[in-house]
Structure 1
Amino acid sequence: MQLRKATRKKAKIRLGLSAVSGGGKTYSSILIAKGLCGDLSKVAIIDTENGSADLYAHLGDYNVLPLTAPFTPERYIEAIRSCEAAGMEVIIIDSISHEWDGKGGCLEIVEQLGGKYQDWAKVTPRHQAFLEAILHSSSHVITTVRRKQDYEMVKDGNRIKIEKGGLKEITREGFEYELTINLELDTNHNATASKDRTNLFMGKPAFVPSEKTGEIVAQWCEQGEEQFNVIKPGSDWYQKVDTCGSHKELVELYQKNKPEVDTNPLLQQLIANRRNQLNGKTLSAA
């Protein structure tokens, strides 16, 4: 354990866009992605929205990976890994809502297990592995999420009445806190920041996302010391960990390379991510 001075590192952005249907999530994400890397051929869209990504093909030569039901966390993780292995610089997940509330998503999985509170002990590790695939990706990641009207039960004298309580994101509560930036879009496609670790947009007037937005974010990502080392798909260590199909194999890999792993936080994180993925697969079979 060693104390050190805080140092700004170059980073990969984790940016969220949330809106109601028709709020411009897909279109805005493509524009921001183009600004981020300058080349749409290096952008991939994981499309769960029935082909909506293809509606904007006129914008450029980006890539589309259709994802259909069942929308399990593991299938999302597989899609993210496919994009990374293909060398994509920006991955757009459009949208993450299905992983939570879609056919085969977390809520449905819990119902199939019996719908009891304790069933979440089996599903939460699978959802967490999905989050970690986003947070530890070697690419920039843009997520979109649907928002819907939320309702509250309010006591009025001796009666209970239902009132509108605002808009709520369709994903597990607290997801936006995992992101670097979260932008909320209104029906006119104007964006405001609900969370912003970069301080680029927080407290600023609403704006329409564009390529310039991505360029500004890219500049922020490049400020600081050389980017933290990322163990990318295709690398020797990535392949070693990825081929472990059980906890036993993962432990054996660790034991064989204990001195190297114990001194490398990136390897520790890579092994921890794989352990969570194996937990998900094991619990899925339960």
Structure 2
Amino acid sequence: MTTVFFKKAERKNAKLRLAIAGPTGSGKTFGALLLAKGIGGRIAVADTENSSAELYDDLVVFEHANIQPPYTPEKFIEVIKAAENGGFDTLIIDSITHEWSGVGGCLEIVDKLAGTTFKGNSWGAWSEVTPRHRKFVDAMLQSSINIIVTMRSKMETVQIDNGKGKKKVEKVGMKAEQRDGIEYEFTTVLDITHDNYALATKDRSRIFAEPRPITEADGVLLKQWLMSGSANACINGNQYFELEALMHQAGIDIAKFCEKRGLNSLHDVLQQKFDETCEGVKRIIERTKQTALENEKQLQAEYEARLDDDYQRALAHIKDAKSINDLNHPADYFRGSKYEVQILNACQAKSDMEGWSA
């Protein structure tokens, strides 16, 4: 029985995942704000660069949060969740280099763990830190809003020919300061030269075919590209987790649910079907709760009926008791029940009548 289903390839509407890398002063923050302005909507900026983004408050209206160390992966996840819950359309994280090599970032966490918990074993330390970093990356990928991040690049000075037979010194951005392979996680990755030119090292949108300065118009083009996919968009990461949690609560076999509908996973559930699917699952949960409640009431009613019968039999047993020891069982049996006092009074009365109390 197959669990893999092939369908006609169809690009869906999407949310932006864009990274801008460059050396200090290359215009990463400025470029990110221009793109966000072109995309439109509410903009949030999480600033790890000592509030430097606020220097551009005349460029576009945005809301700002100054992020302080320690720059743990969990702090950046918190930033993403806060922007989502705040109803923003685009979040700029300036920069995610701090999550990797900043104060309290991944590299520092590994050094600390290797020197303490893992007693010099850096591999052991990475086994703990890598999953934490991965959760941060997943939070970006699964976010329900547009994400633009900046990354610092290591600086290098090179000599180039100025075209007149002379050499000139120029600063260039080298490898981005983040974990190797981070560029694979983004739709578009732009390297910014010191003279503010953007070169696409990865660009699925195919908007940045030629090196050029970033403009607001690029943000407009990005929005058009993001919205030009099929209207039958699949659910986003937050919706996936919400639906998965509901299905677990309802006791639904997710694999069988997907197989019945020709889905490879819950990720393939269409946006337009999300609310309907959730409501259906919630009805199952409510019916299950109602059934459990009715069963509980039925069991309670049966228990009460048995207890009433047992009470009548116990009174007859007490009446016919031949010794004080015969009173122990009914007294113990009804302890903690609604008939406890009545049974104890009946036992005492029988004991007094027979002279056992003395």
SS at match of 1:79: helix
AA at the equivalent of 2:226: C
Distance 1:64 1:215 in 2: 22
1:257 CA displacement: 3.6
In the alignment, which of 187, 193, 196 is matched to residue 180 of structure 1? 187
SS at match of 1:223: coil
Taking the TM superposition and a 5 Å limit, the aligned residue runs for 1:255-274 are: 256-259=250-253, 263=258, 265-266=266-267
Instruction: Tell me, yes or no, if the aligned pair for 2:21 and 2:150 is still in contact at 8 Å.
Output: yes
1:53 CA displacement: 1.2
Is residue 106 of structure 1 aligned with residue 111 of structure 2? no
Change (3 A) 1:93 1:52: same
Percent identity between matched residues is 37
Instruction: Tell me, yes or no, if the aligned pair for 1:183 and 1:195 is still in contact at 8 Å.
Output: yes
Instruction: Tell me, yes or no, if the aligned pair for 1:15 and 1:182 is still in contact at 8 Å.
Output: yes
Instruction: Tell me, yes or no, if the aligned pair for 2:244 and 2:266 is still in contact at 8 Å.
Output: no
AA at the equivalent of 1:34: K
1:139 CA displacement: 0.5
Taking the TM superposition and a 5 Å limit, the aligned residue runs for 1:186-265 are: 186-202=193-209, 204=210, 206-226=211-231, 227-230=233-236, 232=238, 238=242, 254=248, 256-259=250-253, 263=258, 265=266
Higher strand share: 1
AA at the equivalent of 2:266: P
Distance 1:117 1:185 in 2: 34
Is residue 118 of structure 1 aligned with residue 124 of structure 2? yes
Distance 2:198 2:173 in 1: 17
Which residue pairs with 1:44 in the alignment?
Answer: 44
Which residue pairs with 1:137 in the alignment?
Answer: 143
1:199 CA displacement: 1.9
Q: CA RMSD in A?
A: 2.7
Distance 1:267 1:109 in 2: 37
Is residue 77 of structure 1 aligned with residue 89 of structure 2? no
Distance 2:221 2:187 in 1: 14
Q: Which has the higher contact order (CA 8 A, sep 6+)?
A: 1
1:3 CA displacement: 1.4
1:245-275 deviation line (CA, Å, top 9, x unaligned): xxxxxxx98364433585352499xxxxxxx
AA at the equivalent of 1:98: H
1:224 CA displacement: 1.7
Distance 1:266 1:195 in 2: 25
1:58-116 deviation line (CA, Å, top 9, x unaligned): 12320112211000000000010000001111010100000000011000000010151
Instruction: Tell me, yes or no, if the aligned pair for 1:150 and 1:168 is still in contact at 8 Å.
Output: no
1:210 CA displacement: 1.1
Which residue pairs with 2:153 in the alignment?
Answer: 147
SS at match of 1:58: coil
Instruction: Tell me, yes or no, if the aligned pair for 2:234 and 2:268 is still in contact at 8 Å.
Output: no
AA at the equivalent of 1:216: L
Distance 2:8 2:142 in 1: 23
SS at match of 1:59: coil
Unaligned runs of 5+ in 1: 152-164, 242-251, 269-286
AA at the equivalent of 2:196: H
Instruction: Tell me, yes or no, if the aligned pair for 2:72 and 2:99 is still in contact at 8 Å.
Output: yes
Which residue pairs with 1:29 in the alignment?
Answer: 32
TM-score, normalised via structure 1 length: 0.77
Change (3 A) 1:237 1:218: same
SS at match of 1:64: strand
1:205-252 deviation line (CA, Å, top 9, x unaligned): x111111010111111111212322265xx7964995xxxxxxxxxx9
Name the larger-Rg structure.
2
AA at the equivalent of 1:79: V
